[in-house]
Amino acid sequence: MKHKNIFVACDTSNLSEIKKIIKQTQTNKLKVVPKFGLQFFYSKNGRKFLENFKKDFWLDLKINDIPQTALSAVDSLKDLKKCKYITVHANGGLEMLKAIKKKAKSINKDLKVLAVTILTSLNNKSLKEIGHTKSIQQLVLKQADLIKKSGCDGIVCSAQEAKLVRKKYKNLFIVTPGIRLPGDNANDQSRIMNPNDAFKNKVSGIVMGRSLIKGNIKNNVKRLINHLNK
């Protein structure tokens, strides 16, 4: 199971909780990488903590702006030496994606740019409300084409679309959020899947938040290991 990428969503601004999540999700049976989002990064102690973090991490900022502003945002992160993954929105367009990929490579050769497609909290009804006429699957596949063309290192999509993306792009790094252990509440997610089913869809990695960090973290990790062993 060490070859399976497990990203744990450290979704809190409480520094002591962050340290607890990182410590208690570590195991020699799984490869677990912490993912820090806007909540922690924007917090008083968040960025300072990441400046001195000694292990690989994912910075999930979902950058989406005009190319020059997006470039400046990425450039401002160059002091975060252990940042291995960063997210941008595919909605930013081809030129923004290409520019960010080029900038990321120039500041850190190990920094991977992952492009986010349709958020897992959205469904087809949500898309119609926004003004889209295509289905989620159609949009994600279209965005996958854009991401591949841009040279970005990977795609973030729900496990429900991952199978279609993998069929088209055999070697693309595919990460899927919205992952829940069997029986856990979906909360604000619309397109969810359990870890085993996600990996059956040939994803490269999964993001897990509440299923791991709510309640007894060590027990949750054991549940995940047992689930993946089935």
CATH number of the domain bearing residue 139: 3.20.20.70
Q: CB-based contacts of 148: which residues, under 8 Å, 6+ apart?
A: 169, 172
65-88 in b/e form (b: 16+ CB < 10 A) is eebeebbebbeebeebeebbbbbb
- What was the pLDDT predicted at 188? 61
Catalytic residue among 2, 54, 62, 148: 62
Give the number of domains in the chain.
1
pLDDT digits (tens, 9 = 90+) for 25-79: 999 899 999 999 999 999 999 999 999 999 999 999 999 999 999 999 999 999 9
Cβ–Cβ under 8 Å, residues 227 and 181: yes
pLDDT digits (tens, 9 = 90+) for 107-141: 998 999 999 999 888 888 998 999 998 899 999 99
- What was the pLDDT predicted at 70? 95
SS3 per-residue string spanning 60-84? EEEECCCHHHHHHHHHCCCCCCCEE
Number of H helices, E strands in the chain: 11, 8
Report strand pairing: 31-36 vs 173-176: unpaired
Q: Which domain holds residue 197?
A: 5-228
Kindly report the average pLDDT of the chain as a whole number.
92
> Of the candidates 60, 62, 72, 118, which has an alpha carbon nearest to the alpha carbon of residue 99?
72
Q: Is the pLDDT of residue 1 over 90?
A: no
Q: Is the pLDDT of residue 190 over 80?
A: no
* CA dist., res. 136 & res. 49, Å (int): 37
Whether 62 sits among the annotated catalytic residues: the reply is yes
- What was the pLDDT predicted at 12? 95
Residue 149 corresponds to which tokens in the numbers above? Answer: 């063309």
Q: Is the pLDDT of residue 149 over 90?
A: yes
**Rg of the chain over all Cα atoms, to the nearest angstrom:** 17
